[in-house]
Chain A
Amino acid sequence: MHTTTAGSTTARDLLHSLVDHGYTLATGVPCSLLTGAFRLLEEPGDDARLAGLRYVPAPREDSAIGIASGAVVAGERAVVLMQNSGLGYSLNVITSLNLIYDVPVLLIVSWRGHDGNDAVEHDVIGAELLNLLDLFRLPHTVLDPTDPAGSVSTAIDQMDKEQRCSVLIVREGI
């Protein structure tokens, strides 16, 4: 039995909000900051609201965006969860598929290295995350752990308005 923590409550609220917005497919590659969210995707238990959110583990972040893009082209809503390191792999598919065909996908991206005090492999991408997103004009919102539903709504509104991949940034573990 899992102990309920504040983080997992935030993750559950976040995923419920996605379901409420019509999301039916989640894919991605795990990050330790997103452990609670991935646990719920893998084991929704008796949470009936999560039963409608199918989870497909992906081997790499760009393939996850490819899967979500195919579902979006069919008319579904799909979300990708990843660590910010995965944005590097994802730049090709974002710039030569999503931003060319106007196929927006919601990205939930953890922010390792945001305070310069993380494991060394996160230093460079962590320091430049927001600059990287701004460079490709990807709208972004930092998750407010006290209002996950509000943050999700903001990210989806930005995506629908701009028709570009929108990024919900997760700074503290959920």
Chain B
Amino acid sequence: MPAPLLTTPSLSLSEVVREMLARHPDALTVSTCGFTSRELFNAADRPENFYLVGSMGMSAPVALGLALARPDRTVIALDGDGSLLMNLSVLPLVAASGTKLLHVVVDNGMHESTGGQATVQRSDFVALALAAGYRSAVRVETSAELSAADLTAAPALLHAITGPRADGPGRRVTHTPQEIVARVRAAANRPTL
């Protein structure tokens, strides 16, 4: 079990998302339910974003389905510590798939959407991912570490330690579920640059 954090983490989910999109501007991104989808929507609303509103634990399997269907595209699963812990068996599933999935785990140590209850424990997702067969996995706590993270060997996992939201989760996703699917389908089938 990893050592407890000594300081309040400085990274935010928005900062992690911005870094990933700077690296992969056309990435199809599947975000887990609750504040994660809301914060992705407010940080960068794009047709490539598949905002899950329910089905906790399903962001990685859904992202994997997209990656299997569109192997030429970068696909990001934007997961949380609670949702990954709910469905930890996605790790060997993704590792065995042969896809280049980028699995981003934003870890604030809590179920923030439901009131900040603690998740099971601070878990070492890097060790778990590597044991499952991911080709790279990196833990980051600061902006400098985030910028330097080498995730080129995929499937890859980024374990980002984040702090609680300073300004709340922002607006709810305004697109209907059907609109979200239509946008993602069009984005997934757009010719790549």
Contact = CB atoms under 8 A, between A and B. Distances in A.
Contact of A102 (B33, B52, B178): B178
B184 interface: yes
Given A59-B93, A96-B53, A100-B53, A70 B177 contact: no
A80 to B, nearest CB: 11
A64 B87 CA distance: 12
B31 to A, nearest CB: 13
Given A56-B97, A101-B181, A73 B65 contact: yes
Given A66-B65, A78-B65, A60 B55 contact: no
Given A66-B65, A97-B55, A75 B185 contact: yes
Contacts of A72: 65
A24 to B, nearest CB: 8
Interface in A93-109: 93, 95-97, 100-103
Interface centre among B64, B178, B184, by most chain A C-beta atoms within 10 angstroms, is B64
Interface centre among A56, A62, A74, A75, by most chain B C-beta atoms within 10 angstroms, is A74
A66 B65 CA distance: 7
Contacts of A66: 55, 58, 60-62, 64-65
A50 interface: no
Contacts of A65: 61
B18 interface: no
Interface in B140-193: 177-178, 180-181, 184-185, 188-189
Interface centre among B52, B68, B97, B180, by most chain A C-beta atoms within 10 angstroms, is B68
Nearest to B70: A74
Contacts of A102: 177-178, 181
Contacts of A67: 61-62, 64-65, 68
Nearest to B58: A66
Nearest to B189: A75
Interface in B79-114: 87, 89-90, 92-93, 96-97
A63 B83 CA distance: 13
B16 interface: no
A29 to B, nearest CB: 11
A54 interface: yes
A173 B102 CA distance: 39
Q: How big is the A interface, by class? A: 20 to 34
Nearest to A78: B65
A148 B76 CA distance: 38
Given A56-B97, A101-B180, A75 B69 contact: yes
Interface of B: 30, 33, 50, 52-58, 60-70, 87, 89-90, 92-93, 96-97, 177-178, 180-181, 184-185, 188-189
25 contacts: A24-B69, A54-B68, A62-B58, A64-B61, A66-B58, A66-B61, A69-B61, A69-B62, A70-B66, A70-B67, A71-B65, A73-B50, A73-B66, A73-B185, A74-B65, A74-B188, A75-B69, A75-B188, A75-B189, A78-B69, A95-B54, A96-B33, A96-B54, A97-B62, A102-B177
Interface of A: 24-25, 54, 56-60, 62-76, 78, 92-93, 95-97, 100-103
